[in-house]
Chains A and B, each alone.
Chain A
Amino acid sequence: MEMIKLDYPAEETVPRRVHVGVVGSGDLEVLLEPSNDGQAHVSIRTSVDGYGAIWKNVLDRFFSRYKGAAAIEINDFGATPGIVALRLQQAVEESQS
């Protein structure tokens, strides 16, 4: 198990907190809520060690489009980068609906 922390600048407020996903095989849960300092913070706990660079790529790309000041917590159970991106997108959509 490995812990990864990433921070991003943000411009928009997050309307409401949401929870999506499950810590099941090949899946992850995402907890997205407004952060308290106007910046975005991501805290990842993953079952697969040694993929820090890939996590940073996935999150860099996500935050190139998403500007929410979100505190995101991820519990990952071996999801592929594609699944991670989809779950993040799902969380954003639900937080805006």
Chain B
Amino acid sequence: MSAAVPDLERFLKRRSFIELSARDRAEALLDPGGYHELLGPFDRLHSPWLPMQGIVPQEDDGVIVARGRIDGQPAVIAAIESAFQGGSMGEVGGSKIACALELARQDHEQGIPTRPVLLLETGGVRLQEANLGLAVIAEIQAAIVALRRHVPVVAVISGMVGCFGGMSLAAALCSHLIVTRQARLGMNGPEVIEQEAGIEELDSSDRQLIWSLIGGEQRHAVGLADTLVEDDAVAIAEAVRDAFRRGLPKQPRSEQVKLFLERLAAIDPSQPLDGKALRALWDQGATA
């Protein structure tokens, strides 16, 4: 711990991004001044489905859409509030994200270079809204694919909820994915796997194991995330600006089909595989 003192000072000075609300996160990533929220709580676009099931809604349905500027360029951020219903995607909140992406695409077709950023802190579809939630996640995914031809679609997963279910696929479709060490990215969450396959398959309470498999550091090491950054609002804002400066990737990750088929073929499912072994196995074919 002797070398910890300079780190401690940095740690104390830093502004945790994880601890911010979705609204404050969006504001932290935009250039100072000019933050403008669309469809905010006073528009009262809450979920019509939750009160019918005896669940208290939130007036913005847990999704904050904000306009502003990033590096002086017009930008739109859609931030999911993880504290509300685990950041689950319902019809209203999901539609807000899909529409924001769709309007950004229309901006680009009219020569306005709007930069899209998604803050994906979500357990995936909101089970109380079932197919409506799933449908809107499909809309978000289609909107990402349509928009990423014009501009990098940048996503941030900072934790502590992580990004799961259909929204993990949305994250994978983004042009540039920024993660912290605290982030998690995966299709099924650990609790779901344990419940379905048994504790012998996966002990969801083993945090070290879980993060070694689906944590931000591991996802970055195997090329499924682009930037690994500390839990620091300033550092994450810089990582977002940097992602746009880099411009469009040569090929979006989800179009690198051959590479990932080869990677999957390299895995022997009859042998146990942990996070470290996967890094060794996939390191040879690291993505550009």
Contact = CB atoms under 8 A, between A and B. Distances in A.
Interface of B: 21, 40-42, 51, 54-59, 62, 81, 83-85
Nearest to B40: A19
A47 B41 contact: no
Given A1-B51, A33-B42, A27 B59 contact: no
Nearest to A19: B41
9 contacts: A1-B51, A19-B41, A22-B21, A22-B83, A23-B62, A29-B59, A45-B57, A75-B56, A75-B58
Contacts of A24: 81, 83-84
Contacts of B85: 23
A1 B84 contact: no
Interface of A: 1, 17, 19, 22-25, 27, 29, 31, 33, 45-47, 73, 75-77
A76 B56 contact: yes
Contacts of B84: 22-24
A5 to B, nearest CB: 15
A22 B81 contact: yes
A20 to B, nearest CB: 10
Nearest to B41: A19
A47 B21 contact: no
A25 B42 CA distance: 22
A2 to B, nearest CB: 9
B56 A1 contact: yes
Contacts of A19: 40-42, 59
B58 A22 contact: yes
A45 B81 CA distance: 19
Contacts of A73: 59
Closest 7 CB pairs of A and B: A24-B83, A23-B58, A1-B54, A19-B41, A22-B83, A47-B56, A23-B84
